[in-house]
């Protein structure tokens, strides 16, 4: 454990692999060794090691559900999956897996202090999913596939009310609707942007679009 705390994970693994159990110490020592090996894999940091670490953490919870360190192991399983999602445009299956693991912390160990940490990480995971949908919406918007774009943007607003990038979603959803000649709904989102983010990045452009709709009776067709 001292070697793990110093970041010497290879040396720690050597020591852990050398441990021999006896009938007297197996019950108390084996769970600690299993969890330490999971930590060694986790702190190795590469993607293959993270996959291995998650499997070890899940096995620990399966074998020792009542162990005092089981909530930690369940939490770490979720962290392993979160760390494998390096870009919002990547496949989000690992994010979904992380959310499943993190929800298990609160479901199985609601009295643990780690339940609160799990809720915080769930917010991070939801942010990943929201950002993924937003980026896909932006992709469709750039391709002028406005119907597909509006579907993605709406899903962000409906499914992830705490998403930090809502200003951007309002802006591109409003524009997409205008370009589909749905001026009345497009104005709703642009008006909301101006009201909720009066000093935001997109407020001036939103005002210009609103003014254009008012003066011409049409949505902007500018690319």
CA triplet 51, 56, 59: central angle to 5 degrees?
125
Is residue 188 domain-resident?
no
Cβ burial 191-218 (10 Å sphere, 16+ → b, else e): ebbbeebeebebbeebeebbeebeeeee
- 18: helix, strand or coil: coil
Is residue 203 domain-resident?
no
> Which pLDDT value is given to residue 223?
40
Q: What confidence category does residue 27 fall into, taking pLDDT thresholds of 50, 70 and 90?
A: very high
Q: How far is CA 3 from the centre of its chain?
A: 31
Is residue 59 domain-resident?
yes
Q: How far apart are CA 125 and CA 166, in angstroms?
A: 16
Q: Which residue has the higher pLDDT, 40 or 92?
A: 40
Task: List the single range of 78-82, 126-130, 219-223 with lowest mean pLDDT.
Answer: 219-223
Is residue 93 domain-resident?
yes
Q: What confidence category does residue 204 fall into, taking pLDDT thresholds of 50, 70 and 90?
A: very high
Q: Please say if the pLDDT value at position 221 is more than 50.
A: no
Q: What confidence category does residue 220 fall into, taking pLDDT thresholds of 50, 70 and 90?
A: very low
Is residue 27 domain-resident?
yes
What total number of domains does the chain contain? 1
Phi, then psi, of 165 in degrees rounded to 5: -100, 30
- 17: helix, strand or coil: helix
Is residue 208 domain-resident?
no
Q: pLDDT of 48-106, one tens digit each?
A: 999 999 999 999 999 999 999 999 999 999 999 988 875 555 678 888 999 999 999 99
Give pTM, 2 decimals.
0.76
**Cβ-defined contacts of 184-187 (< 8 Å, 24+):** 186/213, 186/219, 187/213
Q: How many helices (H) and strands (E) does the chain have?
A: 11, 0
CATH label of the domain that carries residue 47: 1.25.40.10
User: What residues make up the domain containing 111?
Assistant: 2-129
Name the residue among 86, 98, 200, 101 with its Cα closest to residue 132.
86
Q: pLDDT of 132-148, one tens digit each?
A: 999 999 999 999 999 99
Q: Please say if the pLDDT value at position 33 is more than 80.
A: yes
Is residue 33 domain-resident?
yes
Is residue 96 domain-resident?
yes
> Which pLDDT value is given to residue 213?
86
């Amino acid at each position: 454990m001292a070697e793990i705390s110093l970041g010497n994970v290879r040396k720690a693994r050597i020591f852990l692999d050398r441990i021999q159990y006896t009938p007297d110490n197996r019950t108390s020592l084996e769970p600690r060794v299993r969890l330490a090996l999971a930590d060694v894999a986790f702190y190795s940091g590469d993607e293959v090691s993270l996959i291995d670490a998650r499997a070890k953490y899940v096995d620990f919870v399966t074998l020792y559900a009542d162990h005092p360190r089981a909530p930690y192991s369940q939490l770490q399983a979720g962290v392993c999956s979160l760390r494998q999602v390096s870009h919002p445009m990547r496949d989000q299956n690992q994010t979904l897996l992380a959310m499943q693991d993190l929800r298990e912390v609160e479901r199985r160990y609601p009295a643990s202090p780690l339940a609160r940490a799990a809720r915080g990480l769930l917010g991070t995971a939801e942010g990943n999913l929201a950002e993924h949908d937003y980026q896909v919406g932006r992709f469709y918007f750039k391709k002028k596939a406005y119907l597909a774009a509006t579907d993605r943007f709406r899903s962000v607003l409906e499914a992830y009310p705490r998403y930090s990038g809502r200003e951007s979603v309002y802006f591109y959803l409003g524009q997409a609707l205008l370009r589909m000649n749905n001026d009345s709904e497009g104005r709703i989102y642009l008006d909301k942007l101006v009201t909720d983010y009066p000093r935001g990045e997109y407020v001036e452009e939103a005002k210009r679009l609103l003014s254009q709709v008012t003066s011409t009776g049409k949505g902007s067709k500018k690319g």
